[in-house]
Amino acid sequence: MTTVLTRPLGATVRPGKVTLLRALRSEWIKLRTVRSTSITLLTAVAAMVGLGMLVTHLRAGDLSARELAHFNGAELSLSMFRPAQLAVGVLGVLMFTGEYTTGMIHATLTAVPRRLPVLVAKAVVFTGVVLVLMTAAAFAAFFGGQAVLSSAHLDTHLSDPGVTRVVFGTALYLTVVGLFGVALGAIIRSSAGAIATLVGILLVLPGLGALLPADWAQHIDPYLPSNAGQAVLSVVPDPAMAPWTGLSLFAGYAAALLGLAAWLLKRRDA
């Protein structure tokens, strides 16, 4: 016997309650099904690992005696975090601006009218994916670089002082860069504008700081966002900024931008 369940005529289907878990699932589906996600993340990994090994090979055979005295294999093998940060930052920007470009943001904010869970879900999903992938890429770049350097007896090991911190710190730094992108995407709502602002923060601002008089620069340069974050990437800590203090300051800048993004997301129209 088959039992048929019927709904009274005129009855309505009550929508499910909006929860953070459902928002997280929604953002995870969006992130993994958009083609730009895999392309951008693969670009970051290729830069970290592939270009990292190539640069390590080229530099290892062209070191002067003075450079050898200050040579560090861990920093060289991870030096391609610089192009990788642009790829990760752009992906962070697209987490928001991609929806503004297609108009999907209207559906997203209609489904989650409180809005803040959207920002939280995007930030959490992005952080989880990028942190896991960049940690794997950082270790792959490190071990690949050391394999290249071992033939010249210049390799270093994870057990050496500061090396493990630098490897993990690279992944953490890149993750925070991506959160800068998420925040800027939500604030500016334009891919071109947000990416240009991100590049200005990461690359242009430190260059301008280098133009300051020396007595000014020593009090300003270490506290610029990317300079502070990159303190964790030096095996020998900079006296001007402790490694974890610098990364914490960098994360604080990102948190401030996310706070501004949350405030604007609540106040303005989609």
pTM for the whole thing?
0.90
- The tokens describing 208, both together, are 């301008």
Is the separation of the CB atoms in 129 and 31 below 8 Å? yes
Is the separation of the CB atoms in 76 and 116 below 8 Å? no
Report which of 170, 156, 184 is spatially closest to residue 56, judged by C-alpha positions.
Answer: 156
Is the separation of the CB atoms in 47 and 83 below 8 Å? yes
Between CA 90 and CA 96, with CA 92 as vertex, the angle to 5 degrees is 110
Half-sphere exposure in the Cβ direction for 72 (13 Å, CA): 17
- The CA distance from 38 to 81, in Å, is 18
Is the separation of the CB atoms in 199 and 175 below 8 Å? no
Is the separation of the CB atoms in 173 and 127 below 8 Å? no
Residue 67's pLDDT is 63
Report which of 78, 84, 71, 75 is spatially closest to residue 234, judged by C-alpha positions.
Answer: 75
Bridge partners of 238? 241
- The tokens describing 29, both together, are 């589906």
Is the separation of the CB atoms in 24 and 124 below 8 Å? yes
Q: Each residue's pLDDT tens digit in the chain (270 positions)?
A: 444 444 454 444 455 577 889 899 999 999 999 888 999 999 999 999 999 999 888 887 776 666 666 678 889 899 999 999 999 999 999 999 999 888 888 888 888 888 899 999 999 999 999 999 999 999 999 999 999 888 877 888 899 999 999 999 999 999 999 999 999 999 999 999 999 999 999 999 988 887 888 888 888 999 999 999 999 999 988 888 999 999 999 999 999 999 999 999 998 876
Residue in the structure block whose two tokens are 């190539």:
54
> Residue 13, Cβ neighbours under 10 Å: how many?
6
For a pLDDT cut of 90, what percent of the chain falls above it? 61
Report which of 233, 76, 67, 47 is spatially closest to residue 155, judged by C-alpha positions.
Answer: 76
List Cβ neighbours of 264 (8 Å cut-off, separation of 6 or more).
186, 187
List Cβ neighbours of 148 (8 Å cut-off, separation of 6 or more).
53, 56, 57, 60, 77
- The CA distance from 240 to 246, in Å, is 10
> Residue 8, Cβ neighbours under 10 Å: how many?
5
Tell how far CA 206 is from the center of its chain: 18
